[in-house]
Structure 1
Amino acid sequence: MSSKFTELAIDCADPAGLARFWCSVLGYEVQDEDDGIVTIGSPLAPEGKDRPGPVPPALTFARVPEGKSVKNRLHIDVNPTDRDQDEEVRRLLELGAQHADVGQSGEESWVCLTDPEGNEFCVLASRRP
């Protein structure tokens, strides 16, 4: 048997605010909120945790005192499901994302953005149902 990826922990200054942003990006909902930690996940995830196979990973936001100081070594990639990449980038910018310069050449098929606390993520070009 192997492990399955069920959760990604993200340190931040404002767990509730960052959770709201990512809920809007991913169509997730808050699953738990307690003492500076907020966990969000797919509305289908709770009953799926006990089943074999892929489970949409939860995101846990934990308040930490230090701020972000360098480029992330790990980041999230998102795929638009019901619109093209340009439309999705516009939607995410309206939610509070910002464009990020991480040394792109301009020839990439993805767009680099940051969430409201500066964590980099990419919007891929292809749509996935």
Structure 2
Amino acid sequence: MALRLQCITIDAQDPLALAQFWAEALGWKIGEDVNEIEVWIERELGDPKNTGFPDILFLKNSTPKSGKNRLHLDLRPDDQAAEVARLEKLGAKQIDIGQSAEPTCTWVVMADPEGNEFCVLRERQS
């Protein structure tokens, strides 16, 4: 099959601001050809942690987000507590979408500055 996942597209009211948040969060960089309609971020070439992951495109959409995302990112840090604190300083917020009722919950649900949910998993156990 000759099909390849090129990018993940996220609607945004302010594509540049959201791209800047995610570039900082992931340690990626803003792409070269950006405008007020679309901004993309890309991983640093040669970084083995990011090999094979598609770019993320932030596309202008003036409709406010409503409801829970149908797709979200799960991020695995080296240190969950430190990463949650760092993401909060960047503008993310911890949210509860019902996971606190799960006694075995080991992840933290967060929302980016436009309210898109994502999860910070616990660090990988040896």
With the length of structure 1 as denominator, give the TM-score of the two structures: 0.84
Do the aligned residues in 1 keep the contact of 2:18 with 2:114 (CA within 8 Å)?
yes
Deviations 1:75-102 (A, max 9, x none): 011111xx41001000000100001111
Paired residue secondary structure (1:33): coil
Do the aligned residues in 2 keep the contact of 1:18 with 1:61 (CA within 8 Å)?
yes
1:126 aligns with 2:123: yes
1:65 aligns with 2:62: yes
2:114 to 112, 117, 127: 117
Which consecutive residues of structure 1, in runs of 5 or more, have no partner in the other structure? 46-53
1:86 aligns with 2:81: yes
What is the root-mean-square deviation of aligned Cα atoms in Å?
1.8
Cα distance change on mapping 1:2 and 1:111 into 2, 3 Å? farther
Distance between the aligned counterparts of 2:3 and 2:95, measured in 1? 33
Same amino acid, percent of matched pairs: 43
Which residue pairs with 1:10 in the alignment? 10
Which residue pairs with 1:36 in the alignment? 37
Distance between the aligned counterparts of 2:53 and 2:28, measured in 1? 10
Distance between the aligned counterparts of 2:64 and 2:6, measured in 1? 25
**Aligned-pair CA distance for 1:43:** 1.6
Paired residue secondary structure (1:88): helix
1:95 aligns with 2:90: yes
- The aligned length equals 118
With the length of structure 2 as denominator, give the TM-score of the two structures: 0.85
Do the aligned residues in 1 keep the contact of 2:16 with 2:36 (CA within 8 Å)?
no
Which consecutive residues of structure 2, in runs of 5 or more, have no partner in the other structure? none
- Structure 1: 4+ residue segments shifted above 3 A: none
Do the aligned residues in 2 keep the contact of 1:41 with 1:56 (CA within 8 Å)?
no
